[in-house]
Structures are given as structure tokens and as C-alpha cells.
Structure 1
Amino acid sequence: MNVLVIDEDFPHPTNTGKRLRTYNLLSRLQASHTIHYVFHGNQVELPGCPNIRCHPIDKAFTPKRGLRFYAELLGNLVSSKPYIVSRHYSEPMMGKVNDILHENEIDLIHCEWTPYTENIRSLLGVYPTILSTHNVESQIWGRYFENEGNLLKKAYIYLQWKKMAAYEKDVAGRYDHVVCVSDNDAEFFSRHAPAGRVSVVPNGVDEVYFSPRGGKQKQGNLVFTGSMDWRPNQDAVSYFVEEIFPLIRERNPEAQFYVVGRYPPEGLKAQWEQTEGVTVTGIVDDVRGYIEDAAVYIVPLRIGGGSRLKILEALSMEKVVVSTRVGAEGLALEDHIHLLLRDDPALFASCVTDILASGKEYAGIAREGRQQVLETYTWDSISTVLDAAWHKAARSRRGA
């Protein structure tokens, strides 16, 4: 098929969870499809993907600071659409999409992120379309609301939450098919889309790249990896540093916590590193060394949706993972079998210190975690599920 994909940005380098998912799925699907890839950026070739034709679009997004940004936030108060949708609306992208449709026989339009629906809204119901949801975005906003202490911010977040929920409910039924990363997300979208139009295409991992390396771990090392310009990850690290890590250091004074990921805000980095034993690396060439060194991989998320690729990467490397239930949400993983789930700060800390004291006793959990990844979460097997969803969406419109 000829497939037109609309996305937020270029999926390479694969240094975010969204980019990892997009690249690993499309790089496999392009072996049997021709893909026209429209995105904001300037790259002209996606590495290893000869059948993906790149169509970059220039767009200068307002930096998330300064008077102009806050003016945009204020102006959004009178809009029925959430700010995240208005921010990504792009007339140049709409023009590029129309040019491609005019010049090519397109069998399917694939929207890679819910807010980008606005750029193809007029095509829904005209061409076969499929929406790829990485999260239930309104669920994330709801969790922002629950965890925000500033009353003014809380009120604004509440409005965004409700606008996003209304937007997701509206667009879900307009697509010929919707794919979600987890059963939890699929349950939400199934309530707002016609029967049979929602399926699960889970997140995955490159099980060869993220494999046990045989190195000796550093017994007191803890690690968290993720894009540190994403608010849920910032909240997770703040929560861990403020409420959990001090309890761990009481029992293990030599414990070290590494925060590994791109673009940590300077203010938060300085704040976190005021706590003894905390190191914030910023972007690194290869996260695997940090994961390999760790005695425990931690996922203290309180905000989020979809499912976490970071857990799959750690499990694939046969590491013991301690996570909140929100952190492991959407993955077919069981407490005490594949990983350890703790929500209370004291219980989280106690679990980590028990592992540091007697790590060999938890090696079986690490092995079971990797085995579950191999059986359920490889990109090769997952890409066939998305391929089937593509064909189903294309057939549904042709038969309409």
C-alpha cells in the first residue's frame, strides 16, 4: 500500500519513547509498503528506511517560556480546543498533505499523534484513516491535576484536562480505525468509537540491542532513564529524590541515583543534585551502560498514560525493576513475578534496600521479566499487528 503518515517530528535519533516506537514500527512496515512521511523538521532521509519518503515541514514552535508562550496559554482560555491541539495546528502541513494526495494514489492516512488530527480533519471520512494513540492524553492531564499543588495552575490544568477529554471523544469515532498501546487505553477509545474499530498495538523493545551484557553491576547504583523534558518524568524524579531516596540512603548511605536522559531543566537538575548521591547526566550516547551498572532500575511515575518503553528496555537487559503501578500501567507484567510494584514511598524505599542487601534472591524475577519481553514485546511481532490494522482500516473505507 501507499501510506501517508502525519507526525509531530522526525523519529531519529531514537532518544524518546515516542520516537523509539515510531521508528521501530515504520522501519519494519516500509519493507512492504511505500510510506510518505510528513513531519516538522528538516531531515530528508530516515536511516535504514529506503521506502520512506520524507516530506519535512518548517514550523517554529513558541518556546515554553516567555511572554509569547504565556500569551498563547491565556488566549487558549477562549478556545474550545486544548492548547496542545492549537499549538500543533499547521497550515503548511495541511498544504503538504494535500499536495501528496494530489500527486499520489494514497491507500491510507495514518495520524501518529492525536493532536495532529486537526491537520487532517477535513480528510476524515474521505480517505481511509487510522489514528495511532501513544496515550490517553486526557488521562495524563487528569493526573497532572491530581498532583498539582499550585491552585492557579491546577485550575488551568483542569480546563485543559476537560478540553482534551472532549477532543479525544470527538475524534475517536471519526477515524476508520484507532490503535492504542494498552488495553486500558483501548477501553477508553472503545467507548467513543464504533465497535470493532479499536485495537491494541503494544509498545516493544529491541531485544537484541537491549540484552544482558554480562558486566558486573555496581551494588549501590539506582537508575532512571527517560526524556527529562517530559513533565511526568520530571515529576517522577522529584518525587523519588524528595520522598524515597532519603529513606534508601538511611539504610544504604553509599547508594547512588543516576538520572539519565535528554534536556533536564537546569533549575530541576540543580535542585535534584543538591541531594547527596544524585547525578543528572543529561543526554548520553548509550543508556545501556548505566542500566547495566544498576542494581535496581526504578520507575517512580505518578503521572502518565499508555505504557513505558523504559521498563521493557530494563527488563530486556535482565534488571530488577521497582515501579509504581502507574509506571507499569498497560504492560502485561505481574508483581513479584516480572517486577516489583510499590506505590507508598516507604514501601518503595524498603523494596529497593532489600534488593541492594540481597540482590541474588531477586535474580529469578529479572530472568522472568526478560522472558516475558521475549514472548510478548519484540518489535518484529508487534509490527505485524499494526500491519493488520492498516489493512483493516484501508478495507473499511473501500467497502463503505
Structure 2
Amino acid sequence: MTTALSKEPLLFLCHRIPFPPNKGDKIRSFNILKKLSEQYDVHLGCFIDDRFDKKYASALTKYCASVFHLDQHKTFAKLKGLSGFLTNKPITLPYYFDKRMQQWTNRTIAQQKIKKVFIYSSSMAQYVQGNSEQYQKLERVIDFVDIDSDKWRQYANKKTGIAKWFFNREYKLLAQEEQTICAQFTHSLFVSPDEAQLFRHQQPQSQQGKVHGLLNGVDVNFFNPEVSFSKEQLVPKQPFISFTGAMDYWANVDAVLWFVEQVWPLIIAEQPNAILCIVGGNPSNDVKALAKNHQGIVVTGRVHDVRPFIEQAQCVIAPLQIARGIQNKVLEAMALNKAIVVTTMAMEGINAQPSDGVVITDDKQTYAQACLALLNAQPKTLANRQWILEHFTWQQTLQPLMNYFSVKESH
């Protein structure tokens, strides 16, 4: 049995610093890191792609025996990614490769006598992959989170010409890479049973037993309607609708563009004073333009506290047209017991049933009518928070995590 005084070392590689837990992938990676740190001395290697996050690196020492991080400049990383065309690799691999990360990984494995590795995101598997005996003897568990290759397939379906060819190429090469990783690693984890099942069916029968769902959770103490929140100046005083998420992430950008083009005119036609708050950091130029070109739209950019924009909204929308896995934005809104209007894709893996507080539709007319009804609705008691408490606390969802590593024997 491992004791607090003799924790076994574990290498944790992550494509983005897992702190602060303020966006989808970082929320999951942080909570997994926190859980693993209860039993292991974690040696963390990660990239920092947002200057805002750099000041938080020291906070990770609370959970890690050591932390190694590298700045990632997105423009340079994109140029590196293009080298994949020369090596017939998916661009994702060179995008996330840095020889300094490789050197640190090899040195840490040797010096710390690492036997267990946790990889977060398929792009980081390359640091402990291949036929080297040093890597083959490791117990390697990977959290793919989503089937990344399938996102590229979805992107390709929305494109034409050279863009369609480009996205299809990435989809096919990444799918091959995912299959290779699954074959080499001890276990492959995904964000939901649905996602795991889809990936499982894509693998040879000999590998299917390695594939598991590990649900996302939500911090129900933080996203709690009973606590008081900070004052946010940009929160509208009149009834409004909210969308929350990283606004430089293509699936989120695509979602709000679809909503504003297809649904918002139907809402404004009936309720000219309606307001839509698009809340999240690094809004793209397309998102910023929505506030200039459309009536009633507020683009906040990064906010100190997202909760007031959820808790004070009449409803929260998640009109995703491209999605994989579980949407944290939906979990957070439900934890705050807010009414939600979501597409079928946005509800995947959460599987809450339609009710007074849950509308699931892919039809723009139905979407608009649901939002209008909730904009004008009187407050009522909803069951959304109860669904989260019963199914999606981190304590519940991460319970199986330790089972994917063999237990160190006591001496």
C-alpha cells in the first residue's frame, strides 16, 4: 500500500498548462492531476500558450513534485505543424513537439525511475511512444478526452476545395495515430461512455478492452446558486441569454455564428430588446464583429468570474454544430440550476432528459421559440442541479481513475 511518505513517482504530460481550470480541457486536466496527486508524486510537463496563464504556474507546486513548462508561440507552432506535410504526419504532432520537452521527459523518466505515465491529449503521446525499451516498459495511460480525428472529419464536412482536402488529410492521419497509440498504451480513456464506445468500434478487437469512458465532472461548490458572486459590470440589467466558452475555439465560434445567423433574427423580430451575452476569452475577429453588426449582442472577452453571466441569465445556450465528448459549459449551467437550450450534439454524454429547464433541438425555429419562452418566463424551480449532483460531481466521475494503474505493492 502506498503511503503519504512513499508516494510512487508518476509522469504527467499535458498539451496545455492545467491551471487555472477556466476552460474545458484545463478543467478536466486539472481535476485529474489533483486526483492523481493524492496517490502519486506527479512530475508535470506542459506547454503554456496563453501569457495570462504563466503567472499561475507556481500554483501547480501544490499538486506536483516538479513542474516543467515551455512557452508555446502559436504562430511558430503553426509553422512547425506544416512540417507534417514533409513527413506524412498529422500537423498536430510537430505542432506540439519540442526537443526540450523530449529531453526533460527522458531525463525525468531516468532520474525519477518513472514506471507510470499519464498522458493528457493524444498530441503528447509522442514523447513516450515508439519501440524504445525505455518507453515500452512504462505503464502508459492516455486520456484522449475526445476523438480528435473525428472533429477534423466534422470540420472537413463543412468545407470545400483545398480546405476540405486539408481537413480530411488531418482526420485520416490522426485516426491512424490514435490507433497506434491505443495499441501501445495500457489504457485509453475518453470523456464519456458514448465517446469511448465510438472509438472502441474503430479499433481491432484485440485492443477494444483497453478503451474506457471517464466522465467529466463539475465543481458543484464553485458553481453553486446559493453562494454570492463577484460583481461583473458587463452583466446586463435586463433579461438576457448567455453563451460561455473559449471564443478562439473553432467549435464555439461556429456555434455562436450559427445561432446569430439562424436563430437570433427570429428572436429579435419578436423581442427587439433581447440581449445575447457571448462570454469567454480571446474572441476571434468573427465573434467581435457580431457585436458591431447585430442588434443586442454583447461580446465580453475574458471575464473575472463567469458565474454571474450564467446565474443571472434567463437561459444559457449551447448551439454546437461541431462537438465531441461532454460540454463543460452545459454542466456548469446545470450546476447553477439554469434553464438550457442546447443542440443534440451539446447534450451528448450528459443525457439529461427534456424538461422545464432542458430544451434539446437542432431546429432554428424551435430554438428561437424556446429562448423566447425562457426570456419571458417567471422563475421556477428546476431539476438541473439535482441531475448534476446525482451524476457529475468530480468525486463520482473520477472514482475509476486509479483502477487504470496497477497498485504499488507495499514492502
TM-score of the alignment, normalized to the shorter chain, above 0.5: yes
Q: Matched residues in 2 for 1:85 and 1:178: separation?
A: 18
- Residues 206 and 350 from structure 1, CA distance in 2 versus in 1: closer, same or farther, beyond 3 angstroms? same
Q: 1:194 aligns with which of 197, 200, 207?
A: 207
Deviation at 1:201, TM superposition (A): 1.1
Deviation at 1:165, TM superposition (A): 1.6
Between 251-260 and 29-38, the greater mean CA deviation after superposition: 29-38
Determine if contact 1:337/1:369 at 8 Å carries over to the other structure: no
Q: 2:285 aligns with which of 259, 266, 271?
A: 266
1:380 aligned residue: 395
Say whether 1:206 aligns with 2:219.
yes
Secondary structure of the equivalent of 1:34? strand
Q: 1:58 aligns with which of 70, 85, 99?
A: 70
Determine if contact 2:33/2:63 at 8 Å carries over to the other structure: no
Deviation at 1:9, TM superposition (A): 2.2
Say whether 1:77 aligns with 2:97.
no
Q: Counterparts of 1:337-352 in structure 2 under 5 Å?
A: 339-352=358-371
Q: Counterparts of 1:156-195 in structure 2 under 5 Å?
A: 156-191=166-201, 192=203, 194-195=207-208
Tell me the TM-score normalised to structure 2 length.
Answer: 0.86
Q: Matched residues in 2 for 1:12 and 1:242: separation?
A: 34
Q: Counterparts of 1:15-54 in structure 2 under 5 Å?
A: 15-41=22-48, 47=59, 50-54=62-66
Determine if contact 1:27/1:49 at 8 Å carries over to the other structure: no
Q: Matched residues in 2 for 1:50 and 1:169: separation?
A: 35
Q: Matched residues in 1 for 2:153 and 2:287: separation?
A: 23
2:107 aligned residue: 99
Q: Matched residues in 2 for 1:133 and 1:247: separation?
A: 39
Deviation readout 1:61-112 (Å, 9 max, x if unpaired): 3418xxx94x656543343321112211222111111111111132310111
1:281 aligned residue: 300
Q: Matched residues in 1 for 2:303 and 2:33: separation?
A: 25
- Residues 203 and 259 from structure 1, CA distance in 2 versus in 1: closer, same or farther, beyond 3 angstroms? same
Q: Matched residues in 2 for 1:75 and 1:380: separation?
A: 42
Deviation at 1:292, TM superposition (A): 1.2
AA of the residue aligned to 2:102: M
1:247 aligned residue: 266
AA of the residue aligned to 1:307: I
AA of the residue aligned to 1:103: Q
- Residues 58 and 233 from structure 1, CA distance in 2 versus in 1: closer, same or farther, beyond 3 angstroms? same
Q: Matched residues in 2 for 1:77 and 1:29: separation?
A: 37
Tell me the TM-score normalised to structure 1 length.
Answer: 0.89
1:127 aligned residue: 138
1:321 aligned residue: 340
Q: Matched residues in 2 for 1:133 and 1:43: separation?
A: 27
Secondary structure of the equivalent of 2:399? helix
Secondary structure of the equivalent of 2:355? coil
Q: Matched residues in 1 for 2:72 and 2:220: separation?
A: 36
Deviation at 1:206, TM superposition (A): 0.5
Say whether 1:232 aligns with 2:239.
no
Unaligned runs of 5+ in 2: 1-7, 49-53, 229-234
Determine if contact 1:180/1:201 at 8 Å carries over to the other structure: yes
Q: Matched residues in 1 for 2:44 and 2:357: separation?
A: 37
Deviation at 1:296, TM superposition (A): 0.7
- Once superposed, what is the RMSD of the aligned Cα atoms? 2.5
Deviation readout 1:2-28 (Å, 9 max, x if unpaired): 211011121112221111111122223
Q: Matched residues in 1 for 2:151 and 2:291: separation?
A: 23
Q: Matched residues in 2 for 1:196 and 1:121: separation?
A: 20
Deviation at 1:146, TM superposition (A): 2.0
Q: Matched residues in 2 for 1:198 and 1:33: separation?
A: 23
Say whether 1:222 aligns with 2:232.
no
Q: Matched residues in 1 for 2:45 and 2:259: separation?
A: 38
AA of the residue aligned to 1:53: A
2:20 aligned residue: 13
- Give the total of aligned pairs: 385
Deviation at 1:382, TM superposition (A): 2.2
Q: Matched residues in 2 for 1:60 and 1:227: separation?
A: 18
Q: Matched residues in 2 for 1:43 and 1:252: separation?
A: 43
AA of the residue aligned to 1:211: N
Deviation at 1:267, TM superposition (A): 4.4
Deviation at 1:43, TM superposition (A): 6.8
2:51 aligned residue: none
- Residues 84 and 248 from structure 1, CA distance in 2 versus in 1: closer, same or farther, beyond 3 angstroms? same
Deviation readout 1:218-267 (Å, 9 max, x if unpaired): 66300000011110001011111111111111111111000000101234
Q: Matched residues in 2 for 1:48 and 1:290: separation?
A: 28
- Residues 255 and 157 from structure 1, CA distance in 2 versus in 1: closer, same or farther, beyond 3 angstroms? same
- Residues 51 and 297 from structure 1, CA distance in 2 versus in 1: closer, same or farther, beyond 3 angstroms? closer
Unaligned runs of 5+ in 1: 396-400
Secondary structure of the equivalent of 2:243? strand
Q: Matched residues in 1 for 2:195 and 2:338: separation?
A: 27
Q: Matched residues in 1 for 2:290 and 2:348: separation?
A: 28
- Residues 385 and 57 from structure 1, CA distance in 2 versus in 1: closer, same or farther, beyond 3 angstroms? same
Q: Matched residues in 1 for 2:107 and 2:92: separation?
A: 25
2:385 aligned residue: 370
Q: Matched residues in 2 for 1:47 and 1:279: separation?
A: 32
- Residues 358 and 141 from structure 1, CA distance in 2 versus in 1: closer, same or farther, beyond 3 angstroms? same
